[in-house]
């Protein structure tokens, strides 16, 4: 292909429209508008095929925790490709990268989680957990314990089981989901659903929904509860402090397993190594992906501990589960190097004590904007609620597409921020500098002004 950047872009757009079925995309709409072509990245910046620079306040899809352009990760991948590009971990074999990574994961994980199983994506990892939960209760001689309870606005992935656990309503009808054996309770979304309750009272009430659902289904039929410590794709829903301790209590009281989906929260995002550390959660299973490799290669992991790990170790029979790419050597080498970068550069502590608080303080200033009803966040993850009426926390009529208007202004003005309904969400790389945070805020403020103008307010 040759020609001006514009012609090149057009050629790529046409070919893409002809042959590429995109995730979560309306294809007619996309073909009309023309897809955006991203060609290059460095640090916190992306460049598109027209040469525009964008500050990526989403770390790709919540994953590029160490930032783009890390030579250490290229070099590690290249070296591993040369030495052993592939071998599997079935049939009584292993390889050095996966041994080293498992060791490292157990080191950084909350105490007690000491057994790792690998997958290629967060969805696969959650699907694996859905199977392992069944296996655990079958091993215990309690085969009636089957149902997994999750929450509205949850995102756990797109495989049949992971989508069934997800609670974003549009994810189900196209595929006749959820499957039997999955139930949902309300999310701890105080700003949207808390009404007149204080956040703490609302947190207890939202956790109480788990107990009510358990009693409705019969605790003897319930296997596990799954939750993201902070719900990411559902709109960065940060539970009140009263929430997780109550969930933990209910899981213990009714003998159900607790699964922390750390796909977004893991690896420093919340200012601690894991969201479970931030909220004092003691899970039986943890799901890891995204920040595990900072998105440089696809890889996910399931961490287990305590009675679950003990049961699998002692089962005395073959575990009939695993993927061709479970523990892929190149992905494992990159994941290990990525974790070493987080450690060597103190990026998790920086997210918790320095750049995270700075980002949150600067974002909080935007609460003075006429459109912003609430800014909330932890560490390097945050949300801003666009509302029509601040005192009542009333959102705009969804048909006005306030969030989408804002997101489009962001793209046009060199900033990538996602809109979840009318909630603007962001999760920049943990490496972002103060000056880059300032630029992010400057661009976000400008886009909010443009959104306000478009909404005629």
Which residues form the interface with ligand PXG (CB under 6 A)? 61, 121-123, 126, 155-157, 228, 232-233, 261, 263-264, 289, 418
Q: Six-digit token pair at 260?
A: 């922390």
Q: Find out whether 257 and 226 touch, Cβ atoms under 8 Å.
A: no
CB 83, min distance to ligand PXG, A:
27
CB 139, min distance to ligand PXG, A:
26
Q: Between residues 205 and 407, which has the closer beta carbon with respect to ligand PXG?
A: 407
Q: Between residues 264 and 382, which has the closer beta carbon with respect to ligand PXG?
A: 264
CB 92, min distance to ligand PXG, A:
28
Q: Between residues 110 and 157, which has the closer beta carbon with respect to ligand PXG?
A: 157
Q: Between residues 89 and 287, which has the closer beta carbon with respect to ligand PXG?
A: 287
Q: Six-digit token pair at 402?
A: 């306030």
Q: Between residues 9 and 165, which has the closer beta carbon with respect to ligand PXG?
A: 165
Q: Find out whether 250 and 278 touch, Cβ atoms under 8 Å.
A: no
**How many other β-carbons are positioned within 10 Å of the β-carbon of residue 85?**
11
Rg (CA), the chain: 22
Q: Between residues 80 and 126, which has the closer beta carbon with respect to ligand PXG?
A: 126
CB 11, min distance to ligand PXG, A:
27
CB 288, min distance to ligand PXG, A:
10
**How many other β-carbons are positioned within 10 Å of the β-carbon of residue 344?**
10
Q: Between residues 236 and 375, which has the closer beta carbon with respect to ligand PXG?
A: 236
| 3-class DSSP string for 132-181 | HHHHHHHHCCCCCCCEEEEECCCCCCCCHHHHHHCCCHHHCHHHCCCCCC
CB 429, min distance to ligand PXG, A:
16
186-206 CB burial, b ≥16 within 10 A, e <16: bbbbbbbbbeeeebeebbbbb
Q: Between residues 9 and 422, which has the closer beta carbon with respect to ligand PXG?
A: 422
CB 24, min distance to ligand PXG, A:
7
What region does 442 belong to: left with phi over 0, alpha with psi -120 to 50, or beta?
A: alpha
Name the packing angle between helices 329-344 and 71-83 (round to 10°).
150
CB 228, min distance to ligand PXG, A:
5
Pairing of strands 257-261, 285-288: parallel
Name the β-bridge partners of 150. Answer: 184
To the nearest 10°, report the CA torsion of 288, 61, 98, 108. Answer: -50
CB 290, min distance to ligand PXG, A:
7
Q: Between residues 153 and 205, which has the closer beta carbon with respect to ligand PXG?
A: 153
CA distance 207 to 227: 11
Q: Report phi then psi at 46, rounded to 5.
A: -115, 155
CB nearest ligand PXG: which residue?
Answer: 122
Pairing of strands 222-227, 182-185: unpaired
Closest CA to 312 of 181, 149, 117: 117
Using CA atoms, how far residue 418 sits from 123, 151, 204, 336, in Å, is 21, 21, 29, 29
The terminus-to-terminus CA distance of the chain in angstroms comes to: 46
CB 323, min distance to ligand PXG, A:
13
Q: Between residues 76 and 126, which has the closer beta carbon with respect to ligand PXG?
A: 126
């Amino acid at each position: 292909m040759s020609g001006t950047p514009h012609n090149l872009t057009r050629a790529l757009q046409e070919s893409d429209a002809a042959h590429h079925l995109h995730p979560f995309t309306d294809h007619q709409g996309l073909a009309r508008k023309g897809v955006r072509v991203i060609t290059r990245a460095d640090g916190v910046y992306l460049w598109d095929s027209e040469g525009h620079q964008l500050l990526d306040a989403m770390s790709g899809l919540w994953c590029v925790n160490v930032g783009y352009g890390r030579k250490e990760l290229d070099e590690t991948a290249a070296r591993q490709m040369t030495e052993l590009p592939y071998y599997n971990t079935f049939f009584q074999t292993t390889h050095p990268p996966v041994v080293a990574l498992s060791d490292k994961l157990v080191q950084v994980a909350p105490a007690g989680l000491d057994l790792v199983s690998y997958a290629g994506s967060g969805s696969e990892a959650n699907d694996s957990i859905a199977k392992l939960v069944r296996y655990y209760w079958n091993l215990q001689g309690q085969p009636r314990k089957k149902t997994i309870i999750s929450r509205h606005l949850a995102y756990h992935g797109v495989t049949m089981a992971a989508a069934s656990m997800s609670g974003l309503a549009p994810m189900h009808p196209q595929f006749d989901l959820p499957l039997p054996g999955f139930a949902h309770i309300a999310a701890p979304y105080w700003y949207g659903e808390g009404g007149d309750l204080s956040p703490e009272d609302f947190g207890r009430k939202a956790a109480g929904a788990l107990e009510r659902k358990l009693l409705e289904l019969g605790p003897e039929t319930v296997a596990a509860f799954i939750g993201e410590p902070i719900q990411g794709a559902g709109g960065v829903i940060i539970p009140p402090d009263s929430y997780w301790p109550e969930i933990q209590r209910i899981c213990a009281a009714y003998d159900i397993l607790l699964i922390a989906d750390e796909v977004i929260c893991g690896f420093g995002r919340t200012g601690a190594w894991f969201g479970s550390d931030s909220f004092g959660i003691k899970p039986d299973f943890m799901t890891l992906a995204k920040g595990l490799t900072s998105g440089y290669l696809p890889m996910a992991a399931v961490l287990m501990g305590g009675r679950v790990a003990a049961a699998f170790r002692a089962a005395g029979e073959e575990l009939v589960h695993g993927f061709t790419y479970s523990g892929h050597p190149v992905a494992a080498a990159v994941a290990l190097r990525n974790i070493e970068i987080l450690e060597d550069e103190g990026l998790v502590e920086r997210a918790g004590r320095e750049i995270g608080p700075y980002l949150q303080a600067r974002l909080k200033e935007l609460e003075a904007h006429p459109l912003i009803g609430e800014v909330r966040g932890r560490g390097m993850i945050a949300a801003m609620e666009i509302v029509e009426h601040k005192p009542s926390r009333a959102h705009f009529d969804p048909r006005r597409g306030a969030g989408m208007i804002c997101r489009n202004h962001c793209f046009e003005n060199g900033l990538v921020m996602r809109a979840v309904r009318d909630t603007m969400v962001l999760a920049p790389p943990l490496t972002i500098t103060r000056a880059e945070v300032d630029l992010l805020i400057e661009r976000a403020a400008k886009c909010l002004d443009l959104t306000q103008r478009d909404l005629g307010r």
